[in-house]
Structure 1
């Protein structure tokens, strides 16, 4: 289901300055969206093989860390500040749930499997729809409801959480705070250790664990700040 997109109000073609600058959550969201588009196009242009699978992995990691930051930081702000915010975020959360479920299925199937390729196609379609719903409808409304300084503060909190969020689908995790934040911290640790592990030496694994611990502490700090601001 698509929102009623309005090309005249979309943030898609606005300048960075019009979005509140590089630090604004709007500019940060749009940069991630552009990278998702690039990775999907690259995946579709590559033949079956290691590089194609690596590109899909990069996309999955970006999509899920991006969505977690939205659900932890951005959507609560939309629900507080935007008229009809509950309905808007519920629709986007539904798209995220479909992406989550399909990606979980994709991870169980072998590369080259016809069913897997069809699910990848459906996931890409949902991601593109999600981007359009956010940029054409939801984010413009948030900009109307917030000043530039607020958008920049929100962007800083969003970025901190995104950089340390889970990077793989976890169907059992609730979509809204505080449940997602509480479960997201240990899952982020697990995901990032898994992402960082290489079949080389234990030194690599140790470095990955140190980086992960630092990231998890950053998430916890960001969540504490967000909760204080919501009180």
Structure 2
């Protein structure tokens, strides 16, 4: 965020910094929503209330970043970006001051490392762009996340500013999602047959 703001309007690095920011925000938030917050809801008496607040923050960020991605030529774009940065900073404070200390208090080192490893695995496979209509909670977010992640990661690799690029990314994303579903189905069938 600081590097983006320091680059100044029109700087060539800004587009890359923005893409990096968006990818980091969404993969990070998706992993929190899929791994950390369900754990906190199970362990902390006020976990439901706390995670609901953070999910609302995540949704506001998601909606705002979707608007920034959709309306690239809107004169309010820089205002939206600064607002997104403000919301992300608030989200970080809430998580570091409220949520993560509760997880730390509820889990021993071994369990905390396992939760951290699960978070990292989900983050590496998470969607990298805003999808405002996707549920913030499992299993809805996880089910939607598989095809969206494939689509997003292909979208990150190829230009999708053209209709042909969007069709190609969509087709490749659908193919990747189909492969993931097939692998999951085979693994589930093998487990059941044991």
**TM-score normalised to structure 2 length:** 0.81
Cα distance in 2 for residues equivalent to 1:99 and 1:161: 20
The correspondence of residues 125-204 of structure 1 with structure 2, limited to 5 A, is: 125-197=86-158
Residue number among 76, 79, 88 corresponding to 1:115 in the alignment: 76
Q: Find the residue that maps to 2:76 and give its secondary structure.
A: helix
Which residue number in structure 1 is paired with residue 68 of structure 2?
A: 106
Which of 1, 4, 7 aligns to 1:46? It is 7
Gaps of 5+ in 2: 161-167, 188-194
Structure holding more helix per residue:
2
Residue 197 of structure 1 and its aligned partner are, at CA, apart by: 1.9
CA distance in 2, matches of 1:105, 1:50: 21
| Matched residue, 1:61 | 23
**Stretch of structure 1 that moved more, 40-49 or 89-98:** 40-49
Structure 1: 4+ residue segments shifted above 3 A: none
Q: Distance between the aligned counterparts of 1:116 and 1:155, measured in 2? A: 35
Q: Deviations over 1:199-222 (max 9, x none)?
A: 9xxxxx9xxx69x959x85xx87x
2:58 to 96, 99, 102: 96
| CA distance in structure 2 between the aligned counterparts of 1:136 and 1:177, rounded to whole angstroms | 24
Q: How does 1:209-228 map to 2 (within 5 A)?
A: 213=176, 217=180
Give the distance between the partners of 2:51 and 2:101, measured in 1 at CA.
13
CA RMSD between the two structures: 2.7
Residue matched to 2:163: none
Residue in structure 2 matched with residue 70 of structure 1 by the alignment? 32
* C-alpha separation in 1, matches of 2:120 and 2:137: 18
Deviation at 1:198, TM superposition (A): 5.6
Distance 2:28 2:128 in 1: 9
Aligned equivalents of 1:124, 1:56: Cα separation in 2: 11
Provide the secondary structure at the position in 2 that maps to 1:72.
helix
For structure 1, the residue ranges without an aligned partner over 5 or more in a row are 1-39, 200-204, 225-231
Count matched residues.
173
